[in-house]
Chains A and B, each alone.
Chain A
């Protein structure tokens, strides 16, 4: 199993948390994991991207045109980061606009649940349900339970499950 995933969004949208969840899911499945993240000043609301590589790799960075899946928390980032995807890669986007990608209005569903903080988990749930990721629902649920701050574990799971149902 080898999969290369990019997660793109703005600082504060939970890109890093999704990155961690995917990494933990990989290890849960006994796979090697490498990820790369943006930190520091760029996180203050700026454009951020994470790379996740599952399977045997040496470098955490994904080269342009080689990602199997892209998760976009911000629609406008598609124009910036879609170049990382393979021509036949899956592109999952948080948006209310249709396009040449799998669209899900994660922000709206998160609002419905009562917290914009779970936008990232709605998107993640949708991406799992669409079969765009290396891991299944059960593995991801286990990882969310264990990796979440106990105060938010239930909320995070609700967000993820909402995404699964879409």
Chain B
């Protein structure tokens, strides 16, 4: 599990805080930790989330800091973002401050409650933290959640560093309560995963008791109420767009670049500022920092369009500010003066600024860089499962899903990856496409992780069973959400704060979905795993066939306790090795290394964890696994 650590820097620095003097401490916090800290400090009483890079640490830090508040808090890893959003909405309806945290594609999952919550509004302050991933570093799109906020007509804050992200949490709560609207906080990866010294205050205690006021016209809001709710929403946004307190701030140039200004927000602002400083141009051109990209302050729009003739907008990732300015002289992502895709890395910003300011000289390209591709960990049971699947069905079609196991692509055992839970439904679609052409359809094996199965896989399974699809689903159950830092799943039965919850078993869900072929198999036992796969294929193709589910059960090897219970092998490569590299291509374990000098493979004993599975991958039997017992 992720652990937060920090220590206090200046104890007892006193600052004015209302009638009381509050104790202020500095801590080094990651952006996500600063946001979590901000939620606790603001007296938020419920935080729900589903893990996903770059947002995962937000909830974990709420757990860490919850011990410092007297507000009773409910903190949960929900099964998905839609559920998380609705739980937080329920809490807000009673007047309590509430928050939900997710990555940008999580908002796609939560978009249904998100869109409607703008119309119906909230009671207790409601902050929607959505972490964007320009680049993207670890996501399936680089969509801009500020544009999503604009689509929903929900105000959005865009922090440029961790300390600011924390302050914006409180500002967002205040705005949310003033207008009874959800408010979004949109950090990007560079804010989420930056660390900074951040001022921390004692948590506010609001002492609110749950009070739900029945108001069917609002909380049920049948269509006849919605036009009026829509009008009210528009009025709120109009008012917010007039607020002087949310107007962009300006670093004034001395005016020798008359008529020019640069407008920026978020992490792109931080880089723009530093580069202008390095170029000695900070004093030459007016630089505006936008805290609230939507709704963009109306008098700011007017001022920019009146006072400036040359305007450059630098923002990530979509032209959210730019489109609201709607000025023809605008240079930005629409005019492509700023690249209209990808992260605005410092070097890309430097290039843009130099062109805008007519400064010569090229910038160093950031374009990286080769390096080693990521790979499943040595000893990962997913590798064994993928190896078995590919070996058993060399011509099979293998849709997959989102998690560590997407890396099964390296073994040629992942053919598709779309969005959470899509692998199962795509598997069904692939089956229907081939089955329509005749009975000789290829074997389709969809792989999905345990956490992803809970998130959005189970509805796809129900649908596949119901519609008579015939394919194999392998649920890769490693008893954790490994990719994002080993958060517990409902089957683990442990809640976010470490207290026990009620366990929900995957086999029970599978059976209840109407599946008639269900086996559990440990892929470490390669032979029996392969015969289970063959049995499943026979079932699919039998007269009474349908969806076959195999639960591939082996704990994540990052769980050191679990590792103690597995047999350890000393793995070596004998002189028989022909250097054919079949093991490296088909098994793809980082511990298998080809030595150019000897033209043979050797085992990197520093990374080998002694699972011994690779011995099956050598066509000449040169990989020898000798049982040693105990932990390596």
In Å, the complex CA distance between A146 and B483 comes to 28
Binds B, one of A32-40, A120-128, A129-137: A32-40
- Decide if A33 touches B372 in the complex (CB within 8 Å): no
- Decide if B160 touches A44 in the complex (CB within 8 Å): no
Known: A44-B404, A81-B369. A37 touches B374 (CB 8 A): no
- Which residues 338-391 in B have Cβ within 8 Å of A in the complex? 345-347, 350, 364-366, 368-377
Known: A47-B371, A59-B274. A19 touches B347 (CB 8 A): no
- Residue numbers in B under 8 Å from A41 (CB-CB): 53, 138, 374, 404, 406-407, 483
- Residue numbers in B under 8 Å from A37 (CB-CB): 30, 193-195
- Which residues 62-86 in A have Cβ within 8 Å of B in the complex? 63-65, 76-77, 79-81, 83
In Å, the complex CA distance between A64 and B350 comes to 11
Interface string of B481-499 (1 = CB under 8 A from A): 0011000000000000000
What is the minimal beta-carbon distance from B136 to any residue of chain A, in angstroms?
10
Binds A, one of B1-9, B220-228, B533-541: B1-9
State which of B190, B270, B365, B370 has its C-beta within 8 Å of the C-beta of A80.
Answer: B370
- Residue numbers in B under 8 Å from A35 (CB-CB): 194-196
What is the minimal beta-carbon distance from A2 to any residue of chain B, in angstroms?
12
Which of B7, B269, B407 has the most chain A CB atoms closer than 10 A to its own CB? B7
Q: Is the interface of B mostly helix, strand, loop or mixed?
A: loop
| Total A-B residue contacts, Cβ distance less than 8 Å | 136
- Decide if A39 touches B274 in the complex (CB within 8 Å): no
Is the CB of A139 closer than 8 A to any CB of chain B?
no
Is the CB of B590 closer than 8 A to any CB of chain A?
yes
Binds B, one of A23-31, A88-96, A98-106: A23-31
Which of A36, A58, A147 has the most chain B CB atoms closer than 10 A to its own CB? A58
Is the CB of B267 closer than 8 A to any CB of chain A?
yes
State which of A10, A28, A40, A149 has its C-beta within 8 Å of the C-beta of B53.
Answer: A40
What is the minimal beta-carbon distance from A151 to any residue of chain B, in angstroms?
12
Is the CB of B502 closer than 8 A to any CB of chain A?
no
Interface string of A35-61 (1 = CB under 8 A from B): 111111111111100000000011111
Known: A35-B195, A40-B54, A64-B347. A20 touches B365 (CB 8 A): no
Is the CB of A163 closer than 8 A to any CB of chain B?
no
- Residue numbers in B under 8 Å from A149 (CB-CB): 3
Is the CB of B416 closer than 8 A to any CB of chain A?
no
State which of B161, B370, B407 has its C-beta within 8 Å of the C-beta of A58.
Answer: B161
- Decide if A40 touches B364 in the complex (CB within 8 Å): no
Interface residues on A, range: 35 or more
Known: A41-B483, A58-B161, A64-B347. A32 touches B197 (CB 8 A): yes
Known: A39-B54, A57-B274. A80 touches B137 (CB 8 A): no
- Residue numbers in A under 8 Å from B232 (CB-CB): none
State which of B160, B196, B376 has its C-beta within 8 Å of the C-beta of A33.
Answer: B196
Is the CB of B130 closer than 8 A to any CB of chain A?
no
- Decide if A63 touches B372 in the complex (CB within 8 Å): no
Known: A27-B9, A41-B374, A47-B371. A33 touches B366 (CB 8 A): no
- Decide if A42 touches B137 in the complex (CB within 8 Å): yes
In Å, the complex CA distance between A149 and B3 comes to 9
What is the minimal beta-carbon distance from B333 to any residue of chain A, in angstroms?
20
- Decide if B406 touches A23 in the complex (CB within 8 Å): no
What is the minimal beta-carbon distance from A62 to any residue of chain B, in angstroms?
8
In Å, the complex CA distance between A164 and B372 comes to 30
Is the CB of B324 closer than 8 A to any CB of chain A?
no
What is the minimal beta-carbon distance from B64 to any residue of chain A, in angstroms?
15
- Residue numbers in B under 8 Å from A36 (CB-CB): 190, 193-194
What is the minimal beta-carbon distance from A87 to any residue of chain B, in angstroms?
12
- Residue numbers in B under 8 Å from A45 (CB-CB): 372, 374-375, 377, 590
In Å, the complex CA distance between A28 and B9 comes to 6
Is the CB of B300 closer than 8 A to any CB of chain A?
no
What is the minimal beta-carbon distance from A58 to any residue of chain B, in angstroms?
4
Known: A24-B7, A35-B194, A40-B138. A59 touches B376 (CB 8 A): no
In Å, the complex CA distance between A74 and B482 comes to 25
- Decide if A59 touches B374 in the complex (CB within 8 Å): no
Is the CB of B183 closer than 8 A to any CB of chain A?
no
Is the CB of A159 closer than 8 A to any CB of chain B?
no
What is the minimal beta-carbon distance from A103 to any residue of chain B, in angstroms?
19
- Decide if A58 touches B7 in the complex (CB within 8 Å): no
In Å, the complex CA distance between A107 and B346 comes to 34
State which of B5, B345, B347, B350 has its C-beta within 8 Å of the C-beta of A20.
Answer: B5
Known: A27-B28, A38-B137, A60-B194. A116 touches B606 (CB 8 A): yes
- Residue numbers in A under 8 Å from B104 (CB-CB): none
What is the minimal beta-carbon distance from A9 to any residue of chain B, in angstroms?
10
Interface string of B1-23 (1 = CB under 8 A from A): 00101110100000000000000
Known: A10-B372, A64-B366. A58 touches B483 (CB 8 A): no
- Besides A39-B53, A42-B137, A147-B5, 17 other A-B contacts (C-beta < 8 A): A10-B372, A12-B377, A20-B28, A24-B28, A27-B197, A33-B196, A35-B194, A37-B193, A39-B137, A44-B375, A47-B372, A58-B161, A58-B269, A59-B267, A59-B270, A61-B346, A63-B275
22 chain-A/chain-B pairs, Cβ below 8 angstroms: A12-B377, A23-B28, A27-B26, A27-B197, A28-B9, A34-B161, A35-B194, A36-B193, A38-B193, A40-B54, A40-B484, A42-B374, A57-B274, A58-B161, A59-B271, A59-B273, A60-B194, A60-B195, A63-B275, A65-B364, A81-B369, A83-B364
